[in-house]
Structure 1
Amino acid sequence: MKHLRYLNKYFYKYKWWIVPGVFFVIISNIFGVVPAQVIGFAFNLITENLSIYKLFAGFDRQEIVYDIFSAGLLYFGTVVLVLYLLRGLFMFFMRQTLILMSRHIEFDMKNEIYAHYQELSLGFYRRNNTGDLMNRATEDVNRVRMYVGPAIMYALNTAVQVVLIVYFMFNVNGTLALYSLAPLPVLVLTIYYVNTGIHDKSEKIQQRLSSLSAFVQERLSGIRVIKSYVREAQTREAFALQSEHYKGESMKLVRLQALFYPAMLLLVGLSTILTVYIGGRQVINGSISAGNIAEFIVYVNQLTFPVTMLGWVTTLIQRAAASQKRINEFLQLRPDITGGTIASGTLEGGIEFKNVSFTYPDTGIQAIRDINLKIRPGQFVAIIGRTGSGKSTLANLLMRMYDTDQGMVCIDGTDIRERDLQHYRSQVGFVPQEVFLFSDTITNNIAFGLDQPDQEAVRNAAKNAAVYQNIVAFEHGFETMLGERGITLSGGQKQRVSIARALIKEPRILVFDDCLSAVDTKTEEEILGNLGHVMKGKTTLLIAHRISTIKNADLILVLENGQIKEQGTHAELLGLNGSYAEMYTSQLLEEEESKIK
């Protein structure tokens, strides 16, 4: 239960739902147990009146006895019916408090988990797959809800019902009560033995379910690749294998439960047999009446449901504990990146890297080595280099997706780690290398960084990103709904919509991480020309592979093996006749060859 202690804060929050819920549990069970006594009285009435009825056989008074007998049965039947109706009413109130409380807790938990996911750093998402994250926020939370709602409700109901039944049984006859309850200790030992197995198997089931969810999510995301390589059959086989593993773990739990429930019912049946046998002998001895046996049989049968629920509740608690353990593992994680306290003023755009080195924690690859760089406010800086040279890492460090291992990144002379994250990022426009668009309208995708979308600002951003004409050509224009990850658009259109999303923020610093690769040369020149106007007086960093894209930059950096190998203007770098000049010559040759073809 140690993992479930985390839920105590929710119980405290909703204590005014729990208190009346417990009250309704007690009242409903009182109205559920009292009918057994009424049935006992009615049974004695039947046996006594039958004897009297037979004594008056052949006399006129026999009809009077029959009328009295019928009226008595009708009275007791009505009393039992009213008591059960009252029980049903309070059970309704019980569910309206405790079950609704569990839905509120489920709502709060999902919001807490999602908010915590938002706080965790980028490295967390590199280490965990999406399917597992989703499963913990949905399936695991649902199993915890079954604990805070049905499990607690039925546990309280069982406890109150057992206490009341045991009290009334001993109040009638202690000896008969002891014999009737004798099988219960065996039941307790059985539950104790089974608990551990249920917990272990439940945890394995959740792990398998997470793996299965991750598999499906990944394959659906890559469905185009699967179809292109005609791997549907192999994917089905892999899914069947994953499902087989999940089914295997689930069947182990089912087999354990299949032995558990019949054992409980067997013990309850044994209690009924003992009640009839021992009770019958005591009736013969005159210790109790026949009505008491009927009363005890009702009590024993009433115990059947609580005992059955005891096993079900045990399963719910064990599965909830396994799920809450998985949830706690993530909730106890603290973000690698935490914001500072400086959250005032507008950025000027000055950037400085001081002796910066960085190694990716997951792979151990050192991406940046001793980088020293100073960028003046309003400067247009381009970064070029071969794949794996560290270009995107510089952008990630500037966006503070990661923190440096050595050295520091300064913005306007202040260590970036001292700045408030939200305040800082709100003034930086970032266009990532891997474009991501949401399944929403084009308008909402472009205005994603704004609290209140401005249609005019959306259109201007689209024009500056050279995607306006493409959008208005669609049947629904800016209100066109995009498919998952923007699948409705072409690669170049997605990149330009992503650029528009960054431009609409009117950032003080704009970072392009190789986001013009799918754009033709003419469109690229149009975008860069617009940027020269939009970003005038603001700092721009452009990561690219094509030199034609960056030759007009104020400063060009050539990265190689995580270090700045060359830097300067286009003309200065050509004059060095080094790596930059070699790449420029190579790209010119490629362009000439493409023109000839």
Structure 2
Amino acid sequence: MKHLKALERYFWKYRLRLLLGIVFIVISNYFAVLAPQVTGYVFDVVQRAFGIESKKEPVQYDWLVTWFIHFAEQNRTISVIALCGIVILVLALIRGIFMFLMRQTIIVMSRHIEFDQKNQIFQHYLTLDSNFYKTHSTGDLMNRMAEDVSRVRMFTGPAIMYLINLVSLISLSVYYMVKKDALLTLYVLAPLPILAVTIYVVNNIINRRSERIQALLSDLTTNAQESYSGIRVIKSFVQEKAMYRFFDKNSEEYKENAIGLAKMEALYFPSMTLLIGLSTLLAIMIGGIYAIYGQHNIKMSTIAEFVMYINMLTFPVGAIGWTASMIQRAAASQKRINEFLNTDSAIVNPVNPVKPVLQGSITFDNVDFVYPNTGIQALTNFNLHIKKGQKIAIIGHTGSGKTTIAQLLLRMYDPTVGKVSVDGTDLQQMDLQELRRQISYVPQDVFLFSDTINNNILFSPGGAVTTETAVKAARSASVEKEIEQFHEKYDTMVGERGVTLSGGQKQRISIARALAKDPQIVVFDDCLSAVDARTEKEILGNLSVYLKHKTAIIITHRIFTLFDFDSIVVLDEGKIVETGTHSELLSLNGYYAYLYEQQLQQEREEG
């Protein structure tokens, strides 16, 4: 239950709806408990009419029922019975109206809380650092925002509503039952402590199983999500049966646990029915004995009232198990939600962030970096100074630390040792969003949204959002001609992750997205790996014009002889092993010359 304290802020925000809902529930139940009293009065009238009772005994009724009786006594017996029937119908109608208002306040409140909570979780997800997403699966993230939030909504809506209904209806019913006969009430309610113990024991079991089920559901969602995303790989390796067996195994484990929980919850309702039936039996048996022997002023009308009160309590008492189950499941789900909401990003804005206009001078000063999730040291004593407007190539084999440089410059990570600065200002002192807004980045793993080509190119808030900008950027990225051949041109939907496009087309649209932003600093991370030699030449020619007055870092495993770099940095195992221009590095006859020779040999073999 302690995990549900996180919801207090929402209850306070919607306190007016909650308060009105409580009032409507109490009023609704107040009119409900009047019906047994009116029914008891009808029994008295009928008995007096048949001479079973010779005199009217003083009976304790609610003030509203007492007022009605004074009014009804002025009519004949038949009219009184008809009038009582109408009053019972009116009471039911009034109760129904307030039940409608009850749901319109509390259930609607729960929907507002669900909306706010999903937004809060999604907004928090957006603030978390890259390392968080490397250590948590997408399926689990989605499950916590969807399934877990839905279970919490069942607490903020139905569970709260039924709990208040339960408390108010039992309180009012017991009050009027004690008012009629305290001893008979004690006998009738004797089974309830047994009910309380049953609920306590079963709920503890439900809580443990709910947590396990939610964890299994996350695994199942992750399994399905990865299968959908990698469906082409699965089909190409003919692994459909293997993936199905894996999913079936996870699904079977989830099913078994869910069925076990359902069986445990199934104990509630038969238990409720048994205990309610026992209470009804006690009311009739003990009340009947008292009525026969004329004890405690018990009459047939009293027995009728008690039976109606007990039957009236059947649903709310029966809902104790359901409500308790919803609360326990919500607590388990909220615990999982809190785990992520209480996770702070390792990359945060400084207290007083600097918001400079970047010119393009970049410095890496004695930078060491170790990836926190793997412990791999990506950079060691890395020093690099890039002047404003320079074009720098960073070359090295896979795993040499090239991409890490781009990640540090965008402050996806902070250096383990040393610092990274732009125009003399440490990145950790800058406003995070302002920094990223002024740097264009083409990632190695291209990602396109399930949207139009135009919206993918104009994704960044830093650029001018016009169709002309998108066309110009697509032309610079050498993808304009292919876009024009599409039936919908720039309004073509690219599908999930750009699935309808080729790898080269996705890379070039990603480049166009970076160019449309038009910043002073541009970082390309191995973004030409999926294009042919002719297109590569054309793109490099366009980039040489576009990048004329900009600072550019081009990270690649290939050597571009057609692009005039101011300096080429050669990395190996996180360290700079060579620097210089193309001709200078070839003259050294070192690692760069070896890489160049390997590339030429590969091109000769392919040619």
Q: Structure 1 length normalisation: TM-score? A: 0.96
Q: Which amino acid aligns with 1:288?
A: I
- Superposed displacement of residue 549, structure 1: 5.6
Distance 1:550 1:45 in 2: 107
Correspondence for 1:432:
443
Residue 3 of structure 2 is aligned to residue 3 of structure 1: yes
Q: Which amino acid aligns with 2:193?
A: P
Distance 2:428 2:108 in 1: 44
Correspondence for 1:243:
251
Q: Which amino acid aligns with 2:141?
A: L
Out of 322, 339, 345, which is 1:329 matched to? 339
Out of 149, 152, 160, which is 1:152 matched to? 160
Q: Which amino acid aligns with 1:331?
A: L
- CA deviations on 1:115-158 (whole Å, 9 max, x unpaired) are 00000000000000000000000110010011011100110011
Distance 2:595 2:286 in 1: 99
Out of 328, 343, 366, which is 2:377 matched to? 366
Correspondence for 2:95:
87
Secondary structure at 1:581's aligned position in 2? Answer: helix
Q: Which amino acid aligns with 2:301?
A: G
Distance 2:533 2:432 in 1: 36
Secondary structure at 1:363's aligned position in 2? Answer: coil
- CA deviations on 1:14-43 (whole Å, 9 max, x unpaired) are 111111111101100001110010111112
Distance 2:554 2:520 in 1: 14
* Counterpart contact for 1:495–1:518, Cα < 8 Å: yes
Q: Which amino acid aligns with 1:132?
A: D
Q: Which amino acid aligns with 1:362?
A: N
Out of 285, 289, 299, which is 2:309 matched to? 299
Q: Which amino acid aligns with 1:15?
A: R
Correspondence for 2:432:
421
Q: Which amino acid aligns with 1:337?
A: I
Correspondence for 1:168:
176
Correspondence for 1:564:
576
Distance 2:245 2:87 in 1: 63
Correspondence for 1:57:
none
Distance 1:551 1:580 in 2: 16
Distance 1:157 1:506 in 2: 61
Q: Which amino acid aligns with 2:601?
A: L
* Counterpart contact for 1:384–1:545, Cα < 8 Å: yes
Distance 2:431 2:274 in 1: 65
Correspondence for 2:300:
290
- Superposed displacement of residue 48, structure 1: 2.5
Distance 1:218 1:77 in 2: 63
Correspondence for 1:446:
457
Secondary structure at 1:449's aligned position in 2? Answer: coil
Out of 489, 500, 523, which is 1:511 matched to? 523
- Alignment gaps of 5+ in structure 1: 54-66
| Matching of residues 51-130 of structure 1 within 5 Å | 51=51, 68-130=76-138
| Matching of residues 168-207 of structure 1 within 5 Å | 168-207=176-215
Residue 142 of structure 2 is aligned to residue 141 of structure 1: no
Q: Which amino acid aligns with 1:31?
A: F
Correspondence for 1:31:
31
* Counterpart contact for 2:402–2:555, Cα < 8 Å: yes
Correspondence for 1:406:
417
Q: Flag the 1:571–1:10 CA change in 2: closer, same or farther, 3 A.
A: same
Distance 1:568 1:97 in 2: 71
Correspondence for 2:365:
354
Which structure 1 residue ranges, 4+ long, deviate > 6 Å from structure 2? Answer: none
Distance 1:163 1:443 in 2: 63
Q: Flag the 1:37–1:551 CA change in 2: closer, same or farther, 3 A.
A: same
Q: Which amino acid aligns with 2:339?
A: E
* Counterpart contact for 2:437–2:461, Cα < 8 Å: no
Distance 1:342 1:190 in 2: 57
Q: Which amino acid aligns with 2:19?
A: V
- CA deviations on 1:202-229 (whole Å, 9 max, x unpaired) are 1111001000000000000000011111
The worse-fitting range, judged by mean Cα deviation, of 245-254 and 69-78 is 69-78
- Superposed displacement of residue 278, structure 1: 0.6
Distance 1:593 1:190 in 2: 78
- Superposed displacement of residue 527, structure 1: 1.4
- Alignment gaps of 5+ in structure 2: 54-74
Out of 313, 318, 323, which is 1:308 matched to? 318
Distance 1:412 1:11 in 2: 48
* Counterpart contact for 1:442–1:479, Cα < 8 Å: yes
| Matching of residues 219-258 of structure 1 within 5 Å | 219-258=227-266
Out of 467, 470, 492, which is 2:479 matched to? 467
Distance 2:286 2:27 in 1: 31
* Counterpart contact for 2:523–2:554, Cα < 8 Å: yes
Correspondence for 2:68:
none
Out of 315, 330, 333, which is 1:320 matched to? 330
Distance 2:494 2:87 in 1: 65
Q: Flag the 1:410–1:358 CA change in 2: closer, same or farther, 3 A.
A: same
- Superposed displacement of residue 551, structure 1: 5.3
Q: Which amino acid aligns with 1:177?
A: T
* Counterpart contact for 1:151–1:317, Cα < 8 Å: yes
Query: In percent, how many aligned pairs have the same letter?
Result: 53
Distance 1:351 1:100 in 2: 53
Q: Flag the 1:276–1:253 CA change in 2: closer, same or farther, 3 A.
A: same
Secondary structure at 2:392's aligned position in 1? Answer: strand
| Matching of residues 261-280 of structure 1 within 5 Å | 261-280=269-288
Correspondence for 1:487:
499
Secondary structure at 1:504's aligned position in 2? Answer: helix
- CA deviations on 1:184-212 (whole Å, 9 max, x unpaired) are 11111111111211111111110010000
Residue 339 of structure 2 is aligned to residue 339 of structure 1: no
Distance 1:97 1:542 in 2: 58
Distance 1:167 1:537 in 2: 84
* Counterpart contact for 1:119–1:335, Cα < 8 Å: yes
* Counterpart contact for 2:407–2:413, Cα < 8 Å: yes
* Counterpart contact for 1:542–1:550, Cα < 8 Å: no
The worse-fitting range, judged by mean Cα deviation, of 44-53 and 406-415 is 44-53
Distance 1:46 1:529 in 2: 103
The worse-fitting range, judged by mean Cα deviation, of 333-342 and 114-123 is 333-342
Q: Which amino acid aligns with 2:86?
A: T
Calculate the aligned-residue CA RMSD, in Å: 1.5
- Superposed displacement of residue 70, structure 1: 3.0
Distance 1:237 1:50 in 2: 76
* Counterpart contact for 2:28–2:98, Cα < 8 Å: yes
- Superposed displacement of residue 345, structure 1: 3.2
Q: Which amino acid aligns with 1:541?
A: I
- CA deviations on 1:275-300 (whole Å, 9 max, x unpaired) are 00110011113221101100000001
Distance 1:444 1:148 in 2: 38
- Count residues in correspondence: 583
Distance 1:352 1:109 in 2: 41
Correspondence for 1:18:
18
- Superposed displacement of residue 534, structure 1: 1.6
Secondary structure at 1:159's aligned position in 2? Answer: helix
The worse-fitting range, judged by mean Cα deviation, of 235-244 and 434-443 is 235-244
Secondary structure at 2:587's aligned position in 1? Answer: helix
- Superposed displacement of residue 515, structure 1: 0.6
